[in-house]
Every structure is written in structure tokens, then in C-alpha cells.
Chain A
Amino acid sequence: MLREITLGQYYPADSVIHKLDPRVKLVATLVYVVSLFLFKGVVGFAVITAFLVLAVKLSKVPFLYMIKGLKAIVILMILSALFNLVLTPGINPVFVLGPIKVYPEGVRMAVLMLIRLSYLIVGTSIMTLTTTPNQLTDGLETGLAPFSKIGVPVHAIAMMMSIALRFIPILIEETDLIMKAQMARGADFEKGNIIQKAKNMVPLLVPLFVSAFRRADDLAMAMEARCYTGGAGRTKMKPLRYGKADALAYIVLFAFLATVIVLRIFGY
């Protein structure tokens, strides 16, 4: 019953985007997010939309799959649109209801906010859908490697991330299993008020924590048994190397960024 959660889940497919170096995808996501907050007018918006559509098409991931992520933030989107609508000051109100005044500027801000948020989710989900968690942390580790010179424990952070990501599906499965096991003993996770519901969670949470700690312990032991000592001097079985496709992707990316910046300067 918990299987449907798509928390940055990898969607296997054979596409150009899947094969790109994770560092390219990380940079691309960053550039894309920045561009979302740079554009001012319709032309800029059109360029970004074209970029997004191109990425979605190339990724070969069904579009519906990406939209799923939007469901989780529907409330956030509605709230932020509402606040922007009501709280943005202006001159000529288009709509007045008691103390609430809606100005054209507010409408503009609300629409912009909705577009930005939904584009943000869909765009970033392309990265998580086309990159396995392992590739992602690999990319982060190599990409952030220069920062280790100033004392940032890059390897440790990347290792923690990859372990955390790796355990998400396992813990989801475990939750599902324990829930079923307790339901088989007559537990009910739906009935009652909030306090009752919280109490009903005890038979689920206690075994889940116990098992999470047990797994963490086992993993730590297994890593130590294989002489894991951290990042210094560690080599990789599959080191990341840029290919031709990656170079091309960088060119497209910087062309895109340059276009967005130029458009911004001229106010389109």
C-alpha cells in the first residue's frame, strides 16, 4: 500500500538524459532553477518552457510520472498563490472584499509563483527520475571535491547521502510489512481521533525504529569488516568521465543560460 510513493525514485529507460554524466545533470538542474527566478517576460518564459519540454521529451519518462510529484505540494502551491494574491500591494485594486484587496500586481505574482513552483518540481524530478541515487551521490562527490580542500567532509557527506537514499525503499518496504503484520493481528491504523491514531502508531513505529537501528548497526559492522576508513585514498570502480554527449549538453546548457540572462537584461 506504500509502494506508490515516488520519492525521487529512479525510472529506468534508455535515453540520452539517462546516459549523461550525473555532474552535467546536477549543473543543469542548478542552471534551470536559477533561470526560473531570472525570467521576467513572456519570451523568457517561452525559452524556459522549450528547454523543459526538450528535457522531458529526451528523458523518455512518461510525463504523468513527473506530474505525480506535484500532488505532494498542491497545498503549498495554493497557499503561496493565495498569499501572493492578497498581500501584494498595488494601486488599482481589481477586486475588493472587505479588508481584502486584490491588485493586478498580486494576480501576476500569484501566477508567476504557481508557474515557478510547478516548473521547479517537474524540472528537478527529471534529474531524480533519470539518475540512480548512486550516480547522484557520485556526481555530488566528484563535483564538490574541490571543497574538501577547505575542510568540507565531502566524502562523508556523499556517503551519508547514498546510505540514506539506499535505505528509503527498504524502510518503506519494512513499514509496509510491519503494518501488514500488525493488521494481521487486528490492528487498525485508520479509526479514531488524532490521539487514538497516534497511539495506534506505536505498534508500527517501535518495530520500525528497532529494525532501522539494527540495520544501521549491521551495515556499520559490515563496512568496518571490509576495512572502510573513509575518503582518503579511496579509488572508484567506475570513475566518472565526461563524454561527447556531456560536452554537447554543456554547450546547450550555457547557450540556454546566456539566452535567459540576455533576455533578463533586456527585460523580456
Chain B
Amino acid sequence: MSIILDHVNYTYSTGTAYEIQALKDINLTIEDGQFIGIIGHTGSGKSTLIQHLNGLIKATSGAIYYNGQDIYDEDYDLRTLRTKVGLVFQYPEHQLFETTIFDDVSFGPKNQGLSKEEAGLRAFEALSMVGLDENLYYQSPFELSGGQKRRVAIAGVIAMHPDVIILDEPTAGLDPKGRDEIFDLISKMHEEKNITVVLVSHSMEDVAKYVQRIIVMNDGEVMFDDTPDEVFKHYKELEQAGLAAPQVTYLMHELKEKGLDVDVNATTIDEAKRSILKALC
């Protein structure tokens, strides 16, 4: 059970003056239960890539298979695919529209053809999962704070019970507290429900802390696809692609250069702390 991308190419505005090739020969396999980070600077093709995964954009050439089935088959049901591969867009709070939060979260399940009761149950479950106060459920989503709105919007996708959830910059524009809340929520989802998570971000710090595998996009191509440790070893090349490794990586490399025997592959603050303490003792 997986998503496979086979030689996927995508070109925007073909045949006009604005023609851009956004994806160049992408080959990827996303296995079940993985926690993946996709990183790349603005315009590297990350957002285009993830919209291929649930069939919102059709590749100019190449094939995509979900659980072994070609999603571009004529009789393939893309709407079902979209409920299986949930996509949370950037600034998802901009898509809220219902009169109450509860109704908004039920929108997805209702589209799946579930009964009112069942959809309500799903909404309730999803809202408690994102940790929204129960008193708010029947208020207008437009009265919430930015961070709360975002959690409601994420709940709207969780309520569909997707097998894979893709989040495009889920913490953009949030304060550090809101950011931590969202990340904790995502890793909780991954652990408890064993959902495959694809996290799009341009912050290496955030990604390094949570994911098992990093896909680095650069100029429409996959530049690296490996574990965080391995990817951050190439921190000089990452810089050339307009990205940066976590600050910890730089610190560890400098300590090593100065003669302290630390593990340069540490990517999180905790790992770095342990390694430095060990080297000092």
C-alpha cells in the first residue's frame, strides 16, 4: 500500500509566454506509515508535487499509482482518492465557509456520503483530536483566532479519515506556541492512528525534529531523498539550493573543527546536547 510516482512531469501554461516546467521527471515511492518532510525554497515545485498526490493536478506526462491502481485510469474515482489522501492547503483557514465550526468540519464526511449522524460523529472526533474547546463547536469559525481556525481546518481533513495526510506549510504565519501545537498534533496523529504524513515546509528545524525521511526539492527536481541525518550531511549543497541545514548542524560542525569530538550528524537540540555532554565528560 503506497503512492508511487513514475516519471512525473508537469508544465504550467503550456504553449504561452508564461510556460514553466514545475516538475521534472519525479520518481518517488511513499510507503504506508512513513512520516515524510518535503523541503524546498519558494518555487521549487513542492506545492505542485503534493497536488499531484491526490489528483488535483494531472501530470503532463508520467503515471501515479495509489495502492497499485493508476489514478489516471478513466474509471478511477478521484473523489474517493481525495478522501483517502487528505490534503491540507497552505492557510487552510481561508477555506472555512459554514455558519458553525461543527458544520464546517462535517463538510468532508458529508461529501463522502456518510449519514448526518455519522458525519457528526466524525466531526466531533476530529475536533477533539485537534484539541479545540467544546464550547466553541457551535460558534462561527470566523470568530476564532488564527491558530484555532487553522486547527479547525485541519480537523476538516482529519474527519474524512484519510490514510495519508499531506500538510502544506501547516505552521506558516503562526506564533511559536501555535506552531508547536500544530506539530504536536501532527506527530500525535502519526503515532496514534498510524497515518502516513507528508509535511511540506521550508524550515529544516521543524522538519528535522519530526520526520523520518526528507525529500529535498530544487528547481522541479528531487535533489535528495534520504533520512534527515544523511540529507544534512550535504549541508553545503543545501545552502546552494537556497536552503539551510538546522542551526545545530552548523554548531556541531564548528565544534568538531575546533577539536571537540562530537557527533556531527546530530539534527535536534536534544541529540546535540547529549553528544556535547558526552564529548566533554
Instruction: Please give the residue numbers on chain A whose beta carbons come within 8 Å of chain B beta carbons, in ascending order.
Output: 3, 11-13, 65, 177-178, 180-188, 202-203, 206-207, 210-211
- Which of A12, A184, A187 has the most B CB atoms < 10 Å from its CB? A184
Flag if B97 contacts A202 (CB, 8 Å): yes
Check: B200 CB closer than 8 A to any chain A CB.
no
Flag if A207 contacts B82 (CB, 8 Å): no
Give 7 nearest A-B pairs by CB, closest first.
A186-B111, A206-B97, A185-B108, A181-B95, A184-B87, A181-B89, A203-B97
Flag if B142 contacts A210 (CB, 8 Å): yes
Residues of B within 8 A of A210 (CB): 94, 97, 142
Flag if A207 contacts B111 (CB, 8 Å): no
Number of A-B contacts (CB under 8 A): 63
- Which of B54, B82, B95 has the most A CB atoms < 10 Å from its CB? B95
Flag if A185 contacts B157 (CB, 8 Å): yes
Check: B86 CB closer than 8 A to any chain A CB.
yes
> What distance in Å separates the Cβ of B275 from its nearest Cβ neighbour in chain A?
41
Flag if A186 contacts B97 (CB, 8 Å): no
> What distance in Å separates the Cβ of B13 from its nearest Cβ neighbour in chain A?
6
Measured between alpha carbons, how far is A207 from B79 in the docked complex, in Å?
21
Given contacts A3-B13, A180-B89, contact A185 B97 (CB under 8 A): no
Given contacts A178-B95, A207-B94, A210-B142, contact A185 B111 (CB under 8 A): yes
Flag if B95 contacts A207 (CB, 8 Å): yes
Given contacts A3-B13, A186-B160, A187-B111, contact A181 B92 (CB under 8 A): yes
Nearest chain A residue, comparing its CB with the CB of B110: A186
Check: B17 CB closer than 8 A to any chain A CB.
yes
Measured between alpha carbons, how far is A187 from B95 in the docked complex, in Å?
12
Given contacts A178-B95, A206-B97, A207-B97, contact A185 B51 (CB under 8 A): no
Nearest chain B residue, comparing its CB with the CB of A64: B15
Check: B156 CB closer than 8 A to any chain A CB.
yes
Can you offer 24 A-B residue contacts whose CB atoms are under 8 A? Answer: A11-B17, A12-B17, A65-B16, A177-B89, A181-B87, A182-B107, A183-B82, A184-B54, A184-B88, A184-B89, A184-B157, A185-B95, A185-B111, A185-B157, A185-B160, A186-B79, A186-B108, A186-B111, A187-B111, A203-B97, A207-B94, A210-B94, A210-B97, A211-B94
Residues of B within 8 A of A187 (CB): 107, 111
Residues of A within 8 A of B142 (CB): 210
Nearest chain A residue, comparing its CB with the CB of B107: A185
Flag if B82 contacts A184 (CB, 8 Å): yes
Nearest chain B residue, comparing its CB with the CB of A205: B97
Flag if B17 contacts A186 (CB, 8 Å): no
The contact of B56 among A12, A184, A188, A202, by CB within 8 Å, is A184
Check: B96 CB closer than 8 A to any chain A CB.
yes
Measured between alpha carbons, how far is A211 from B95 in the docked complex, in Å?
9
Measured between alpha carbons, how far is A207 from B98 in the docked complex, in Å?
9
Measured between alpha carbons, how far is A181 from B16 in the docked complex, in Å?
26
Check: B247 CB closer than 8 A to any chain A CB.
no
Q: How many residues of B contact A (CB 8 A)?
A: 27
> What distance in Å separates the Cβ of A128 from its nearest Cβ neighbour in chain B?
15
Nearest chain B residue, comparing its CB with the CB of A211: B94
> What distance in Å separates the Cβ of B146 from its nearest Cβ neighbour in chain A?
12
Within 8 A of A (CB), among B84-105: 86-89, 92, 94-97
Residues of B within 8 A of A65 (CB): 16
The contact of A207 among B17, B51, B87, B96, by CB within 8 Å, is B96
Measured between alpha carbons, how far is A9 from B198 in the docked complex, in Å?
36
Given contacts A202-B97, A207-B97, contact A180 B111 (CB under 8 A): no
Measured between alpha carbons, how far is A177 from B51 in the docked complex, in Å?
11
> What distance in Å separates the Cβ of B65 from its nearest Cβ neighbour in chain A?
19
> What distance in Å separates the Cβ of B96 from its nearest Cβ neighbour in chain A?
7
Measured between alpha carbons, how far is A255 from B51 in the docked complex, in Å?
55
| A interface footprint on B11-44 (CB within 8 Å = 1, 0 otherwise) | 0110011000000000000000000000000000
Flag if A13 contacts B82 (CB, 8 Å): no
Measured between alpha carbons, how far is A3 from B95 in the docked complex, in Å?
20
Flag if B94 contacts A185 (CB, 8 Å): no
Within 8 A of A (CB), among B54-96: 54, 56, 79, 82-83, 86-89, 92, 94-96
> What distance in Å separates the Cβ of A82 from its nearest Cβ neighbour in chain B?
33
> What distance in Å separates the Cβ of A177 from its nearest Cβ neighbour in chain B?
7
Measured between alpha carbons, how far is A206 from B104 in the docked complex, in Å?
12
The contact of A203 among B86, B92, B107, B157, by CB within 8 Å, is B107
Residues of A within 8 A of B115 (CB): none
Flag if A180 contacts B160 (CB, 8 Å): no
Q: Beyond A185-B95, A207-B97: 8 further Cβ-contacts under 8 Å?
A: A180-B56, A181-B89, A184-B56, A184-B87, A184-B88, A186-B108, A188-B111, A211-B94
Check: B212 CB closer than 8 A to any chain A CB.
no
Flag if B94 contacts A186 (CB, 8 Å): no
Nearest chain A residue, comparing its CB with the CB of B113: A186
Residues of B within 8 A of A180 (CB): 51, 56, 89
